[in-house]
């Protein structure tokens, strides 16, 4: 009597675990157990909505799944100064719920396609993102020099490694000169710049 519903619940648990495995490997807040529960829950609510609703109002419960998932997703997003983390995890929660809803209405092939595309985005595109990030790094530097080190000399050094500065600020207090600026460029060139800062005896401190 409930064979089809049991199949849907089992499939949603498997799909949720597959999507959540990538988050679990990367030690993110929502792992495969969390995403499996979200996917199963979305499937159950979709089944309930389909069975409890009348012919013209079968989406009354399922429509609220999106709202509930939105609260869960917001709980894993954190902001630390200028950086924001957890957005990918929140999007994964969203897609896990969508998979559960597709399985709940019996769209098995469409849910399978969605799962494959989602896994491709989570795994394969990570390598492309790493490649892009290594060539387009963005860092905020704060450097303090001894004596009257000039900004022109610092900019000349930065230009040697094909790096670009934004929001360049210079502050001088007694015998120390401080610089704050955004730096963009390739990661390997930024590492060379960092090494120059470490070897420079005029540098009192720097952070990024």
Diameter over CA atoms, the chain: 84
Quick check: pTM over 0.75?
no
Torsion over CA: 109, 115, 118, 122 (sign): negative
Kindly report, residue by residue over 27-73, the tens digit of the pLDDT.
777 788 889 999 999 999 888 887 776 666 666 777 788 888 888 88
> Domain limits of the chain?
3-134, 136-207
Name the fold adopted by 136-207.
Answer: Alpha-Beta Plaits (3.30.70)
76, 90 Cβ separation under 8 angstroms: yes
Q: How many CA atoms lie within 13 A of 98 on its CB side?
A: 16
Kindly report, residue by residue over 104-142, the tens digit of the pLDDT.
988 999 999 999 999 998 888 878 877 777 678 888 899
β 78-80/203-207 pair status:
unpaired
β 176-185/164-173 pair status:
antiparallel
């Amino acid at each position: 009597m409930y064979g089809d519903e049991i199949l849907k619940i089992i499939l949603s648990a498997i799909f949720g675990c597959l999507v959540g495995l990538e988050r679990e490997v990367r030690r993110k807040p929502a792992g495969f157990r969390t995403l499996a529960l979200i996917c199963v829950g979305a499937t159950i609510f979709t089944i309930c909505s389909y069975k409890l609703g009348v012919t013209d109002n079968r989406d009354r419960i399922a429509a609220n799944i999106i709202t509930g998932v939105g609260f869960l997703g917001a709980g894993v997003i954190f902001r630390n100064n200028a950086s924001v983390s957890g957005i990918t995890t929140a999007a994964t929660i969203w897609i896990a719920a969508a998979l559960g809803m597709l399985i709940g209405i019996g769209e098995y092939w469409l849910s399978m396609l969605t799962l494959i595309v989602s896994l491709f985005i989570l795994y394969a595109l990570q390598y492309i993102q790493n490649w892009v990030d290594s060539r387009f790094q963005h860092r905020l530097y704060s450097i303090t020099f001894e004596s009257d080190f000039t900004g022109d000399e610092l900019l000349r050094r930065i230009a040697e490694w094909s790096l670009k500065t934004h929001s360049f600020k210079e502050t001088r207090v007694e015998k120390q000169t401080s610089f704050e600026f955004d730096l963009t460029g390739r990661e390997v060139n930024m590492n060379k710049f960092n090494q120059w800062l470490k070897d420079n005896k005029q540098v009192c401190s720097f952070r990024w």
